[in-house]
């Protein structure tokens, strides 16, 4: 069992994944992360090539001082995987797409949190906020 949307990234390569439990029923509506380098883009493309559809690739970064005058600029080269050096994306859209991908390969439990768990020599049993008990080989809890 896995807890937290970000861990769903491993879902397609984690054969023992049973469930992903996320206390928030919907993705947070405001962006927090907005850019991905070529390595993150490569990982996302391995999970599902459509995750970053609509993103803005090949974006340079311009730095300005307190007086709003330019002080520098960075342009990120294309990475070894062929992905843009820096791509901007809309995080709520990416999170919704990730939930769809995870739901294809795992039980996705939205709107319920992890209450407690116990571990023994064969795995872990988790108790969810709704009283449901889930047994799994491992558990990853978001800090």
Q: Which bin fits 63, alpha (ψ -120 to 50), beta or left (φ > 0)?
A: beta
Rounded to two decimals, what is the model's pTM? Answer: 0.74
Q: According to the model, what pLDDT value does residue 8 have? A: 43
Q: According to the model, what pLDDT value does residue 17 have? A: 56
pLDDT < 70 stretches in the chain: 1-18, 143
What is the spatial distance between Cα 9 and Cα 47, in angstroms, rounded to a whole number? 7
Q: According to the model, what pLDDT value does residue 138 have? A: 83
Could you tell me where the beta strands, DSSP code E, fall in 17-138?
A: 19-22, 35-37, 61-64, 70-74, 86-88, 107-110, 114-120, 123-128, 133-136
- The secondary structure of the chain in percent helix, strand, coil, rounded to multiples of 5, reads 25, 30, 45
What are the structure tokens assigned to 96, written together? 């919704």
Q: According to the model, what pLDDT value does residue 60 have? A: 87
């Amino acid at each position: 069992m896995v807890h937290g949307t970000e861990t769903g990234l491993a879902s397609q390569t984690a054969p023992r994944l049973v469930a992903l439990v996320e206390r928030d029923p919907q993705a947070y509506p405001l962006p927090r992360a907005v850019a991905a380098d070529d390595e993150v883009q490569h990982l996302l493309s391995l999970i599902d090539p459509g995750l970053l559809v609509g993103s803005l690739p090949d974006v340079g970064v311009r730095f300005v001082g307190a007086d709003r005058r330019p002080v520098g600029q960075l342009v990120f080269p294309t990475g070894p995987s062929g992905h843009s050096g820096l791509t901007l994306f809309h995080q709520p859209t990416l999170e919704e797409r990730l939930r769809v991908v995870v739901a294809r390969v795992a039980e996705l439990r939205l709107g319920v949190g992890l209450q407690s768990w116990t571990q023994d020599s064969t795995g872990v049993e988790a108790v969810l906020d709704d009283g449901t008990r889930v047994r799994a080989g491992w558990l990853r809890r978001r800090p």
